[in-house]
Chains A and B, each alone.
Chain A
Amino acid sequence: MECAIQMKHVTKTFGSVTANKDVSMDIYKGEILALLGENGSGKTTLLNMIAGIYYPDEGEVLVNGKQVEIRSPKDAYDLRIGMIHQHFKLVDVFTATENIALGLDSKEKFDLKQIRKKAEKICEKYHFEMDFDRKVYAMSVSQKQTLEIIKALYRGADILILDEPTAVLTPQETERLFKVIRNMKADGKSVVIITHKLHEVLAISDRVSILRKGEYVGSVKTSEADENLLTEMMVGKKVELNIERPVPENPVKRLEVRNLSVVSEEGVSVLSDISFDVYGGEILGIAGVSGNGQKELLEAIAGLQPVVEGGSIKYYNAADGSEPPMEVVGKNPKIIRSAGIHMSFVPEDRLGMGLVGSMGMTGNMMLKSYDRGRGFLTDRKKPQDLAESIMKELGVVTPGVNTPVSRLSGGNVQKVLVGREISESPIVLMTAYAVRGLDINTSYTIYDLLNRQKKKGVAVIYVGEDLDVLLELCDRILVLCGGRVNGILDGRSTTKEEVGLLMTKLQPDKVREKAQGEAKEEAQGETKEAQREEKETKKETREQEGGGKVE
């Protein structure tokens, strides 16, 4: 096959961090190539060098067999390379047409009508749907992505690079995107997809190239690969891709949320009339397209978000119900703590909310306990002991307990945060996107930690974005859509499609209410049976082994 792009011995460093080391990789014409690697393995950096965002420190890039210097995205477009970044580069207040027109070669006559006609032709060819008069701020994430793709095609891109295109899409939207990608391939274009999701790689690509810690590991034909092989290449050793799901043991109600509504500062309703219960010894998953109220829900429970009058969050401290429930609404985190409510919260924004980046582990251990004790001075001895024990137990890699945590890698940052939250021996543990950006090993460490808490009888709330993980880890899954509870599903019997549908389509009120009631019953009774079935099906899938060849 003919090569569209060849990279030879490409190296790129940032300070002391080597993002790519001596990578030599080819992209063929007319293929769909998946670039696979864990977070931080240098996938995006590598392709950013082709797209003109970064300039390699060493090595060379050949396009169509000719050596080139790509110094800017414009150079890349001149070579017919277009990249769709994870964070879209669109002007919010412009329409679709205006965004396409932006940055076109000034020699061309600026004629919006002409541009629009040309863009519409592209849409027809690849079966896109696009409203060209709509402003970007009024578009959904999936529409914005489509617009970015049209933009790249308009500029004549023959090689399209998509950086984690499915991270923000629902299963249905992903399927639509894959169709478009196949159309482009049929038209002879090369498509590169950066991803760390194995099943997507297997579903769409022709070939997989794998990076590990910035180095090129190898390429495999997708038809000859399976999940085990790819994971092994990605991580460098065999990984047990099995998330444990013990059956909840005598679940007791720990949290009772009723009619919770939250209005944002701009006066927009972000949560309306949320009601659900959380039981000790279970993991309650919360699914939803990002920005559908997950953040506000957890923040409201943690006392960080003002709640509309009428809502209530009741916390049950005693397992046997001997103590009256405590109301959480109206308390700030400090009051919640001093009232004896044992609630821990691992927020989404680790360094912006959960930790203080400029402080070391010791300083961060003090965050929730610094005001204990009478005196004017802080006690640093106990936090330091705690920091050292967390460092040892969770294997946090850091030069010392006083090294600023912002200098640690994402996985270690999360270990510090989760370690602190668990050390408070919570009764309710809330986590938001607990494994976002973490490598596979750390992710499984976190799942394991959550499961251990669950076995101890902690009520765990897990807000996640990876539906596969939610379906494997959680006992029940609450789906948020448009700030409402759109259904509570049994994690053992539901399917990805069902969850995906609930994420995007708001059910009529009656159906939703009924579903909420049923799910509650189910959680109590049917879990054990479902668990047994689940285990058996899993075993079967594990047993299917396949071999793949490295090219």
Chain B
Amino acid sequence: MSNSQIKEPLMRVVKRDGARMREKVAARAAAILLALVLDALFIFFVTGQNPISVYGVMFQETFGTKSRCSWAMRDLVSLLCIGIALAPAFKMKFWNVGAEGQVLMGGLVTALIMVYFGNRLPMPVLFLVMLLTSVAIGAVWGLIPAFFKAKWKTNETLFTLMMNYVATSFVACAVNIMRGQASSLGKLNMGNRAGWFPSVFGQRYNINIIVVIILTFVMYFYLKYTKHGYEISVVGESENTARYAGINVAKVIMRTMAISGAISGLCGFLIVCGRDQTISTTTAGGNGFTAIIVAWLAKFNTFYMALIAFLLVFLQKGAAEIASAYGLNDYAASIITGIILFCILGSEFFINYKVIFRTGKGGKTA
């Protein structure tokens, strides 16, 4: 037997027992700091520029002027709105990766009504019709996978994902019909601007910002203090417990997904009327997926979501700006964003676990 040769393992992973608030904040701050250092190294070796000044440019280009700041806010609320839509579904452990499609469908009906009824309906009625139909179609788009999940236990991840492609195809088809001979669709109702949001405080998209701020409060309240919110938490924790409590699980799943889809649909309406004034297959622009990160990192607290969305938008915009400012490829921007996300997500591991290295006899924590 040659076991006397065996040494204590080099590294062991041990579960941490509920880190304290201070440790959590410290771990996350350390993660962001580490990410900034890694990014600085990357920037320095690729561009040869001083990383500090590059970060300066990044901030300047994103928030430097009033209008830039307001654009950033505009993009932030689009992302946050979808995050809010996802929160109830994810809290229920229903993996809704179909927000992209739900937003597109909401945007599509908005655009169609804008084009075909824009001249026929008085403005308030037009907005009301667009709002209701976009919310309804979003709800339906969310309800379909929920119905199949509740009745036949289909896999909601695959189902919602595939519904995205259906929605994208619908949009592509409608855009082709609407543009006719033109090479691209361009802004809808360019002439009379029917169905465009009026500008408030100087910008049309300020309505989006106001609506999303209200939604942030409403959703927080809904999840925390209502009977529905309680049911969502119980179903998310354990379906058996929900059945034991007499909660109708199928009903809660369908109702919650209808709400989730409806808010996504509303987001499509806001984007088309307030931001783009047009529709395309990239209207949601991948935010339906990015919002998953937003919802998860914030643990479904809508106020944390706003912070996370802020960070992500800053990164995306800032990285894109420096890419163009220093003549870098678009991918360089993705790398910079990627490093930061990797570090933030990685810090979750250190919040939940600690690593013990071999130190002769007795271990020291790292």
Q: Which residues of chain A have a CB within 8 Å of any CB of chain B?
A: 13-17, 55, 57-58, 66-71, 75, 78-79, 302-304, 332-337, 345, 347, 349, 351-359, 363, 366-368, 370-371, 376-378, 407
Contact of A69 among B3, B230, B231, B248 (CB under 8 A): B3
12 A-B pairs besides A345-B244, A358-B233 with CB distance below 8 A are A15-B14, A69-B3, A69-B6, A75-B6, A304-B244, A333-B244, A347-B244, A353-B244, A367-B241, A370-B227, A376-B227, A376-B228
**Taking the nearest CB of chain A, how far is it from the CB of B138, in angstroms?**
22
Instruction: Pull 19 A–B residue pairs with CB atoms less than 8 Å apart, ordered by A.
Output: A14-B17, A15-B15, A55-B12, A57-B362, A68-B6, A69-B7, A71-B8, A78-B1, A303-B246, A333-B246, A353-B243, A354-B244, A356-B241, A357-B238, A367-B244, A368-B245, A370-B230, A377-B227, A378-B225
The residue from B9, B225, B228 contacting A55, defined by CB atoms under 8 A apart: B9
Alpha-carbon distance between A69 and B243 when the two chains are bound, in angstroms: 48
Q: Are B234 and A367 in contact (CB under 8 A)?
A: yes
- Give bound CA distance, A73 to B247, whole Å: 45
Residue ranges of B at the interface with A (Cβ–Cβ < 8 Å): 1, 3-4, 6-9, 12, 14-18, 225-231, 233-234, 237-238, 240-241, 243-248, 361-363
**Chain B: CB-nearest residue to A367:** B245
Residues of B within 8 A of A358 (CB): 233, 237
Chain B minimum-CB-distance residue to A368? B245
Chain B residues, CB < 8 A from A303: 246
Please name all residues of chain B whose beta carbon is closer than 8 Å to the beta carbon of A359 when the two chains form the complex.
Answer: 233, 237
Min CB gap A438→B, angstroms: 20
Instruction: Among B228, B245, B247, B361, find the residue whose CB has the most chain A CB atoms closer than 10 A.
Output: B245
- Closest residue to B225 on the A side, CB-wise? A377
Q: CB distance B230 to A78 under 8 Å? A: no
A334 close to B246 (CB less than 8 A): yes
A352 to B18, CA, bound (A): 21
Give CA–CA (A352, B244) in the complex, Å.
Answer: 10
A363 to B244 CA separation, bound complex (whole angstroms): 15
A304 surroundings in chain B (CB, below 8 A): 243-244
Q: Would you call A352 and B363 a contact (CB within 8 A)?
A: no
- Contact assessment for B362 and A58 in the assembled complex, using a CB-CB cutoff below 8 Å: yes
Which residues on B sit within 8 Å (CB–CB) of A75? 3, 6
**What 5 A-B pairs have minimum CB-CB distances, sorted nearest first?**
A15-B17, A334-B246, A333-B246, A16-B17, A353-B240
Query: CA of A219 to CA of B14 in the docked complex: distance in angstroms?
Result: 31
- Cα A63 to Cα B23 in complex, Å, equals 41
Chain B: CB-nearest residue to A14: B15
Which residues from chain B contact A334 at a C-beta distance below 8 Å? 245-248
Contacts of A352 in B (CB 8 A): 238, 240-241
**Are B363 and A57 interface neighbours, CB within 8 A?**
yes
Residue of A nearest to B240 (CB): A353
- Give CA–CA (A462, B3) in the complex, Å: 51
Known: A352-B238, A377-B226. A66 touches B4 (CB 8 A): yes
A368 to B4, CA, bound (A): 59
Are A349 and B8 within 8 A (Cβ)? no
Q: Are A368 and B246 in contact (CB under 8 A)?
A: yes
Complex interface: chain A residues within 8 A of B246 (CB):
303, 332-337, 368
The docked-state distance in angstroms from the alpha carbon of A58 to that of B361 is 7
Nearest B residue to A403 by beta-carbon distance? B18
B240 touches A55 (CB 8 A): no
Of B7, B15, B227, B244, the most chain A CB neighbours within 10 A belong to B244
- Whether the Cβ atoms of A349 and B240 lie closer than 8 Å is yes
Residues of B within 8 A of A67 (CB): 4
Q: Which residues of B contact A371 (CB under 8 A)?
A: 227
Question: Chain B residues near A355 (CB, 8 Å)?
Answer: 241
The answer to whether B9 touches A17, judged by C-beta atoms less than 8 angstroms apart, is no
Instruction: Tell me the nearest residue of chain B to A372, going by C-beta.
Output: B227
Chain B residues with Cβ under 8 A from A335's Cβ?
246
Q: Which residues of A contact B229 (CB under 8 A)?
A: 378
The residues of A that contact B244 with a CB separation of less than 8 Å are: 302, 304, 333, 345, 347, 353-354, 367
- The answer on a CB contact under 8 Å between B233 and A376 is no
The answer to whether A356 and B233 touch across the interface, beta carbons within 8 angstroms, is yes
Q: Which residue of B lies closest to A355 (CB)?
A: B241
- Chain B nearest CB, measured from A339 CB (Å): 11
Contacts of A356 in B (CB 8 A): 233-234, 237-238, 241
Chain B residues near A69: list those with CB within 8 A: 3, 6-8
Q: How far is the CB of B84 from chain A (nearest CB, A)?
A: 19
A97 to chain B, nearest CB (A): 28
Q: Which of B227, B245, B362 contacts A333 (CB 8 A)?
A: B245
Tell me the smallest distance from the CB of B53 to a CB of chain A, in Å. Answer: 44
Contact B241 A378 (CB under 8 A): no
* Nearest CB of chain B from residue A460's CB, rounded to whole Å: 19
Of A349, A357, A407, the contact of B237 (CB 8 Å cutoff): A357
B243 engages A333 (CB within 8 Å): yes
With known contacts A359-B233, A367-B234, A17–B227 Cβ distance under 8 A: no
Cβ–Cβ < 8 Å partners of A357 in chain B: 237-238
- Whole-angstrom distance between the alpha carbons of A332 and B243 in the complex? 8
- Tell which of A58, A68, A367, A378 touches B226, judged by Cβ atoms closer than 8 Å: A378
Complex: chain B residue closest to A17, CB-CB: B17
